Amino acid sequence: MASYDLVVIGTGPGGYVCAVRAAQLGMKVAVVEKNPTLGGTCLNVGCMPSKALLHASEMFEEAAHSFAKMGVSVSAPKLDLPSMMNFKQQGIDGNVKGVDFLMKKNKIDVLKGAGKILGAGKVEVSANGSTQTVETKNIVIATGSDIARLKGIEIDEKRIVSSTGALSLEKVPERLLIIGAGVIGLELGSVWKRLGAEVMVVEFLDRILPGMDGEIAKQFQRILEKQGFAFKLGTKVTAVDTSGKTLLAKVEPAAGGASETIEADVVLVAIGRVPFTDGLGLKEAGVALDNRGRVQIDPHFATTVKGIYAIGDVVAGPMLAHKAEDEGVAVAEIIAGQAGHVNYDVIPGVVYTTPEVSSVGKTEEELKQAGIAYTVGKFPFTANGRSKVNQTTEGFVKILADAKTDRVLGVHIIGREAGEMIHEAAVLMEFGGSAEDLARTCHAHPTRSEAIKEAALAVGKRAIHM
């Protein structure tokens, strides 16, 4: 029987990164993966394919609407959807191959098949009717998440799709109805809107992007409406009639009331994701779940069974690839006897639309609720030189700092490249920096990042360009 220091079940960003870090620390490591390819949700049906389609569709949109005003005259772009899907697939393949390479480079055994925990120290791997059992000192569960479903609405991945189906539609739907105004719904809505679909988003809550700063979310909604998105907030979809050529979605106010029917060609169910623990044998092994079906862990990622740990989407916390990666590194270091740690107060979040939305730290709503006195500094991209010359002036930077100490508690950006810009705020916050630290840091001119410096100056009411 093969024997390891660590067996990681699942090769998403949590699992494969954990395996690499453990191998770097001298452990003998194997990963178990039930999918034909490594990389998990993120590489195969999540972050990577969605970003490839967001990029390609943005170029399509720019060629049609932005080139001419810059004096670049091209004939109207034509959509070749199969080629766009091929572009997406090449991106996936390249990244998946990269993970294969990392496994080889770090001498990590890849055990293809479904992993089941037989108890502390034993993992069974089954594929195509055959099984093997391996021994291991430690197990990390990194089995990720699955799409959340709506009762009574059957996903067929053709007409009623999850994010997975929405990444591979064979033609642009005339009318796309999206259930859920979260990150995934708005990103995929943007892709199909740019390619020609009419997009309507139905959201149960009375706002979009729940959890993000309310002021930013409001501005974002206005921008998306200008792009042609239609929103029905405080509304729920209760059924979808699939009997005819056109889908008929029954919607009603979230609080109850008269229902109406919305016609659509494709319905995207994007109401979130749920932890995935099917077939792992957790109950028999004594690994407890919390009340939301996530693997229960202590602050050191240890489950209720000694030698078994869990990380990523399958445990509590934001379902984000970089959170899973950082937990993967931390748990490998803890197993190796080091002090692995993740700072959950500084995990950036990004919506990769145009404009992008990014945030790190506390929202204004969270600070109010916690009773923390804060000061706000804001700076619009309309007053940023680089944004003006590029004519991409939508959005603003918002910095929230502690009223007493000036320590930065949250940064929220809506605007082009916001997803890249957020990281200087993350580094500042990791070091417990103040708005004044940020304001006194020299920023290259002309860059969009100067808007962050100006927002930091605005915390002290001394922005220069406003």
Ligand X SMILES: Cc1cc2nc3c(=O)[nH]c(=O)nc-3n(C[C@H](O)[C@H](O)[C@H](O)COP(=O)(O)OP(=O)(O)OC[C@H]3O[C@@H](n4cnc5c(N)ncnc54)[C@H](O)[C@@H]3O)c2cc1C
Strands 235-241 and 247-253, by their bridges, are: antiparallel
Q: CB neighbours of 279 closer than 8 A, spacing ≥ 6?
A: 114, 116
Of the candidates 304, 306, 321, 308, the one whose C-alpha atom is nearest the C-alpha of residue 115 is 308
Q: Is 240 exposed, middle or buried (0-12, 13-18, 19+ CB in 10 A)?
A: buried
Which range of residues in 11-19, 260-268, 390-398, 432-440 is near ligand X by CB under 6 A? 11-19
Compute how many residues bind ligand X; rule: CB under 6 A.
36
**Under rule CB under 6 A, residue 41 binds ligand X:** yes
Rule CB under 6 A: choose which of 35, 242, 259, 390 binds ligand X.
35
Q: What is the smallest separation between the CB atom of 15 and ligand X, expressed in angstroms?
A: 5
Q: Which is nearer to ligand X, 130 or 243 (CB)?
A: 130
Please tell me the distance from the alpha carbon of residue 408 to that of residue 432, in angstroms, as a whole number: 7
| Nearest residue (CB) to ligand X, 236 versus 273 | 273
Please say which residue, 10 or 189, places its beta carbon nearer to ligand X: 10
What CA–CA distance (Å, rounded) separates 322 from 324?
5
State the nearest-atom distance from the C-beta of 39 to ligand X, in Å: 7
Instruction: Give me the helices (H) in 78-119, please.
Output: 81-105
Q: How far apart are CA 81 and CA 226, in angstroms?
A: 25
For tokens 């840091």, name the residue: 441
Using CB under 6 A as the binding rule, whether residue 293 contacts ligand X is answered as no
Burial class from Cβ neighbours inside 10 Å (0-12, 13-18, 19+) for residue 177 reads buried
Task: Give the shortest CB-122-to-ligand X separation in angstroms.
Answer: 14
In whole angstroms, the minimum distance from the beta carbon of 55 to ligand X comes to 12
Smallest separation, CB 297 to ligand X (Å) = 13
Q: Which stretch binds ligand X (CB under 6 A): 129-137, 259-267, 311-319, 381-389?
A: 311-319
Residue 14 found at the interface with ligand X (CB under 6 A):
yes
In the region spanning residues 143 to 182, those forming contacts with ligand X, defined by CB under 6 A, are: 143-145, 163
Q: Rule CB under 6 A: choose which of 320, 329, 399, 411 binds ligand X.
A: 320
Query: Is-contact 152 144, C-beta < 8 A?
Result: no
Residue carrying structure tokens 């940020």: 438
Mark the segment that binds ligand X (CB under 6 A) among 138-146, 194-202, 210-218, 226-234: 138-146
Q: Please identify, using beta-carbon distances, which residue of 36 and 337 lies nearer to ligand X.
A: 36
Residues 6+ apart with CB under 8 A from 422: 348, 350, 358, 359, 360, 411, 413
The Cα 248–Cα 264 span in angstroms is: 7
Among 28, 322, 407, 443, binds ligand X (CB under 6 A): 322
**Is 377 one of the binding residues for ligand X (CB under 6 A)?**
no
Among 184, 251, 282, 463, binds ligand X (CB under 6 A): 184
Reference 458, options 387, 372, 384; nearest CA is: 384
Q: Which is nearer to ligand X, 145 or 392 (CB)?
A: 145
226: enclosing H helix or E strand: helix 214-227
CB of 326 to ligand X, least distance (A): 11
- DSSP bridge pairs for 357: 351, 414
419 binds ligand X (CB under 6 A): no
What phi and psi, each to the nearest 5 degrees, are found at residue 275? -60, 145
Per-residue DSSP letter, 431: T
The least CB distance from residue 164 to ligand X, in Å, is 7
Active site residue 65: no
Assess contact for 216 and 359: CB atoms under 8 A. yes
Q: Which is nearer to ligand X, 89 or 405 (CB)?
A: 89
Contact residue for ligand X among 91, 312, 380, 395 (CB under 6 A): 312
Q: Which of residues 236-275 bind ligand X (CB under 6 A)?
A: none
Residue 114 in the binding site for ligand X (CB under 6 A): yes
For residue 185 the two structure tokens come to 């719904």
When binding is defined by CB under 6 A, the residue of 285, 319, 438, 439 that contacts ligand X is 319
* Peptide bond between residue 299 and the one before it cis (omega within 30 degrees of 0): no
- Residue 34, interface with ligand X (CB under 6 A)? yes
Is residue 57 involved in binding ligand X (CB under 6 A)?
Answer: no
Interacting span for ligand X (CB under 6 A) from 9-17, 70-78, 148-156, 433-441 = 9-17
CB-CB contact of 306 with 180 (8 Å): no
Per-residue x/- track, 432-461, ligand X (CB under 6 A): ------------------------------
What are the C-alpha distances in Å from 113 to residues 92, 108, 139, 296?
21, 15, 16, 24
From 65, 300, 423, 445, active-site residue: 445
Q: What's the min distance (Å) between Cβ of 115 and ligand X?
A: 4
Q: What residue ranges bind ligand X (CB under 6 A)?
A: 9-15, 32-35, 40-42, 46-47, 50, 114-115, 142-145, 163, 184, 276, 279-280, 312-313, 319-322, 324, 352
Catalytic residues: 445
